Amino acid sequence: MKVPTGKQFDFIAILALRDTGLVTFICRRYVFVNYLYIYFLFAFCILRFSDRSRNHYLRKY
């Protein structure tokens, strides 16, 4: 079973941000468990990042 390392995960996240269609393409290459794991981490990171950036910019401007 391949578990993506930190750098690989960052790369996947960047690709997913650029084009959501690539997410399904990348996830097909991993085992179903890793597919769920990546999606969970990705969604969690996006939510945390968006909340933080929103608060940050609201304070700034």
Which percentage of the chain shows pLDDT scores above 90? 0
Question: Contact 34/2 with Cβ under 8 angstroms?
Answer: yes
Where would I find the H helices in 1-61? 6-18, 21-27, 32-60
How is the chain split into domains, by residue range? 6-60
Contacts of residue 16, defined as CB under 8 A and 6 or more positions apart, other chains included, come to: 22, 23, 26, 42
Q: Is this model's pTM higher than 0.85 or not?
A: no
pLDDT tens for 4-30 read 555 666 666 666 666 665 556 555 655
Looking at residue 48, its pLDDT comes to 75
